[in-house]
Amino acid sequence: MRSTAWNDEENRVLPEMALDFMPEDKLRELQLQRLRATVKLAYEKVPLFRERMDEKGVKPDDIKTLADISKVPFSMKKDLRDTYPYGLFAVDLSEVVRLHASSGTTGKPIVVGYTKEDMEVWAQVVKRGLLACGFRSTDIVQNFYGYGLFTGGLGIHGGFEALGATVIPISGGNTERQVMLMKDFGVTAVGGTPSYFVRIIDVAEKMGVDIRSLNVKRGIFGAEPWSDGMRDYIEEKTGIKAYDIYGLSEIVGPGVGCECECRDGIHIFEDHFYPEIIDPETLEPLPDGEEGELVISTLSKKAMPILRYRTRDITAIEKTKCKCGRTIRRIRRIGRRSDDMIIMRGVNVFPSQIETALLRAEKALPHYQIVLDTKNNMDTLEVKVEVSRDMVSDSMGAMEQLNKKFKHSIEQILGISVIVTLCEPDSLPRSEGKAKRVVDNRKKM
Amino acid sequence: MKIPQVSVFVSNRPGRLQAVCRSLADAGVNLLSLTLADSGEFGLIRLIVNNPEKAVDVLAKAGLSATITDVVACPVNAAIGGLAELLSTAVGSQQIDYMYAYPSTLNGSNIMILRFQDTDKAIEALKATNFKAIDKEELFKNT
Ligand SMILES: [Zn+2]
């Protein structure tokens, strides 16, 4: 078997990877030069950024060092909504070759645009991430990220295509067919949301197909936070290696960062995206190693330069160097987004904690949903768990025991009392292959 | 001696029992017995059918989780004290998880379906009594 270790000789000689290993001083120099150009572009072409900088009395020429980025005002999702659809574009629409939009459930979506050059950069960063995780041009890739307005499908597609792999643009849904093609096409690599892959694993099992016996070796997963427990579950069930790719549409889509074979954090493609960690309360920058909110500035985007975007993702920039030798810095895997955080009777709850609890209780990863409600003026947290075939027993006592086991495991992790409700398979909603984990019906005070 | 019983997990909502029966009927699975156990939120439908494996597959396709467990079918004298008589034998000292009456008779006897904690031990215990466990072929012969 071919070695897939991080120090695989092949990994270092590929010219596309050179940027990941750039000498640090050269990298900082490049970043400063690109940051200055981006601030200038945003100031000159995007009214929102100009107004904000003028308010703070900052001019593009004030950016003399990378540390001066702290003078630049922040931007956030609301800014993209408020300027819908094209208000943050820095180029004429004639230069924009692609539009993507969020599947906002409420109100207007957010819209992002790309020039031809932006598209090339996007494909290149995804490709660099894939290479770092050991994907190669010889791979046959089943891409079940959703295709369409969502950046996931076409973003990952572009990266694999740039890599020269054989891409099957199957998108999400029709799970039995996914299993059939995985088998018949000799698929060696998969990409998509981890929650949908778990669904594929379930269906394959039902169909009597053992993914371990197929050719699939690796998967690239993203678009939602997923726990280490979920990764272990996927790898145990399928025998593949699962890698995390990070990104958000507002910045570029998937490919802002990606794991490497070491799987010890996510390398940010720092020559195109500048990461900072801030204290979400004081908004002050935090030193590397400290946990806070990730803020990203684009360094080469032309259609839509974004300055100091508050991602709502909670992480830290690693202080130490990765064993792979890449000089581009890493952030810790995102276990939680501040947007996903539920505050329940004063306690912070993240869906990933529920996931960990379910895995701990049953060594299985059932589909679940968190429902918040107010009953008799008390906020309640209910976890609905789909009962799969191997969880069913003919004994009522055993089913009630299962319920108790889940409840106990969740309560142990969260430290608050919860209600667990067992549900039929497929009874909980799924959207675009992206799990809808939280429903909040609480009465707002 | 063992009878395969299908248990289906259902949410406690109107229409779920109908969904189970309809999908089995459409697949040509013959329902020989059906009993329901429920807690507040969910229920278990326990079925004896002529083709249990097929039933589980059909139910899975309809999005329902089901499993097969072994139960024992015992003839019971259709007279007063029939069940008491059965339970006064060695069978009665076995751990019984649940039991229910089967809706048809066999050679003039009523039939009880029993779920023992230890099925093999219970069948062994039955051998020493006058109540011979009914085998699958006999129970299904008219279906
Ligand atoms: Zn690395």
Distance from CA of B62 to the nearest CA of A (A): 10
Give the list of residues 6+ apart from residue A89 with CB closer than 8 angstroms, or none.
A45, A46, A96, A113, A303, A304
Lowest-confidence region among A109-118, A262-271, A427-436, B51-60: A427-436
| Contact at CB, B9 and A421, closer than 8 angstroms | no
- Intrachain domains A15-25+111-338 and A341-440 with the same fold: no
Confidence band, pLDDT 50/70/90 cuts, at residue A225: confident
Look at residue A4 and tell me whether its pLDDT is greater than 50. no
Look at residue B127 and tell me whether its pLDDT is greater than 90. no
Q: Check: CB of residue B131 under 8 Å from CB of residue B75.
A: yes
Look at residue B49 and tell me whether its pLDDT is greater than 90. yes
Percent of chain B's residues with pLDDT above 90: 59
E-strand stretches of B39-95: 42-49, 66-76
Q: How far is the CA of A262 from the centre of ligand 1 (A)?
A: 6
Give the length of chain B: 143
Q: How far is the CA of A25 from the centre of ligand 1 (A)?
A: 19
Query: For B2-68, which CATH superfamily applies?
Result: VC0802-like (3.30.2130.10)
Q: How far is the CA of A324 from the centre of ligand 1 (A)?
A: 4
Q: Which two tokens stand for residue A28?
A: 């900082």
Q: Where are the alpha helices (DSSP H) in A14-138?
A: 24-45, 47-56, 77-82, 116-132
CA distance B19 to B61: 12
Give the mean model confidence (pLDDT) for residues A205-231: 92
CA distance A277 to A294: 5
Domain regions of chain A by residue span? 15-25+111-338, 341-440
| Contact at CB, B65 and A396, closer than 8 angstroms | no
The pLDDT tens digits of the residues spanning A126-135 come to: 999 999 999 9
Name the packing angle between helices B52-61 and B16-26 (round to 10°).
120
SS3 A58: coil
Look at residue A435 and tell me whether its pLDDT is greater than 90. no
Q: Check: CB of residue A314 under 8 Å from CB of residue A96.
A: no
What fold characterizes domain A15-25+111-338?
Rossmann fold (3.40.50)
Domain regions of chain B by residue span? 2-68, 70-134
For residue A94, give the amino acid letter: S
**What pLDDT does residue A109 have?**
85
**What pLDDT does residue A1 have?**
36
**What pLDDT does residue A173 have?**
85
Look at residue B142 and tell me whether its pLDDT is greater than 80. no
The pLDDT tens digits of the residues spanning A310-337 come to: 998 999 999 999 999 999 999 999 877 7
What fold characterizes domain A341-440?
GMP Synthetase; Chain A, domain 3 (3.30.300)
Give the mean model confidence (pLDDT) for residues A200-220: 93
CA distance A278 to A7: 33
CATH assignment, B70-134: 3.30.70
**What pLDDT does residue A433 have?**
60
Q: Which residues of A touch B (CB under 8 A)?
A: 206, 387-397, 399-400, 421-427
The pLDDT tens digits of the residues spanning B89-124 come to: 888 889 999 999 999 888 888 999 999 999 999 998
Look at residue B73 and tell me whether its pLDDT is greater than 90. yes
Closest CB to A206: pick one of B37, B41, B60.
B60
**What pLDDT does residue A3 have?**
39
CA distance A365 to A368: 9
| Contact at CB, A424 and B44, closer than 8 angstroms | no
Q: Which two tokens stand for residue A9?
A: 């000789």
Confidence band, pLDDT 50/70/90 cuts, at residue A105: low
Give the mean model confidence (pLDDT) for residues A181-195: 96
Its ipTM equals 0.87
Q: Which residue of A has its CA nearest to B6?
A: A394
**What pLDDT does residue A2 have?**
39
**What pLDDT does residue A5 have?**
41
Give the mean model confidence (pLDDT) for residues A227-231: 87
Q: Return the C-alpha torsion angle A248, A357, A317, A247, nearest 10.
A: -10
**What pLDDT does residue A94 have?**
97
Give the mean model confidence (pLDDT) for residues A9-29: 80
Nearest to B64 by CA among A404, A361, A206, A368: A206
CA atoms within 13 A on the CB side of A429: 8
Percent of chain A's residues with pLDDT above 70: 94
- Three-state SS across chain B? CEEEEEEEEEECCCCHHHHHHHHHHHCCCCEEEEEEEECCCEEEEEEEECCHHHHHHHHHHCCCCEEEEEEEEEEECCCCCHHHHHHCCHHHHCCEEEEEEEEEEECCEEEEEEEECCHHHHHHHHHCCCCCCECHHHHHCCC
Lowest-confidence region among A38-42, A143-147, A400-404, B133-137: B133-137
The pLDDT tens digits of the residues spanning B8-48 come to: 999 988 899 999 999 999 999 999 999 999 888 899 999 99
Q: Check: CB of residue B11 under 8 Å from CB of residue A423.
A: yes
Distance from CA of A199 to the nearest CA of B (A): 13
Look at residue A73 and tell me whether its pLDDT is greater than 50. yes
CA distance A26 to A32: 10
Confidence band, pLDDT 50/70/90 cuts, at residue A206: confident
**What pLDDT does residue A387 have?**
93
**What pLDDT does residue A398 have?**
92
Q: How far is the CA of A286 from the centre of ligand 1 (A)?
A: 22
The pLDDT tens digits of the residues spanning A232-283 come to: 999 999 999 999 999 999 999 999 999 999 999 999 999 999 999 999 889 9
Q: Which of A387, A389, A424 to mutate to test the interface with B (most CBs of B within 10 A)?
A: A424
CA distance A157 to B84: 70
Nearest to B7 by CA among B41, B32, B35: B35
CA distance B137 to B123: 16
Confidence band, pLDDT 50/70/90 cuts, at residue A355: confident
Percent of chain A's residues with pLDDT above 90: 71
Look at residue A227 and tell me whether its pLDDT is greater than 80. yes
Give the length of chain A: 445
Closest CB to A392: pick one of B9, B37, B97.
B9
**What pLDDT does residue A244 have?**
97
Cα torsion A38, A44, A47, A49: sign: positive
Please give the mean pLDDT across all residues of chain B: 91
Chain A residues with CB inside 8 Å of B66's CB? 389, 392
Q: Check: CB of residue A133 under 8 Å from CB of residue A259.
A: yes
Q: Which two tokens stand for residue B55?
A: 């039933």
CA distance A262 to A88: 37
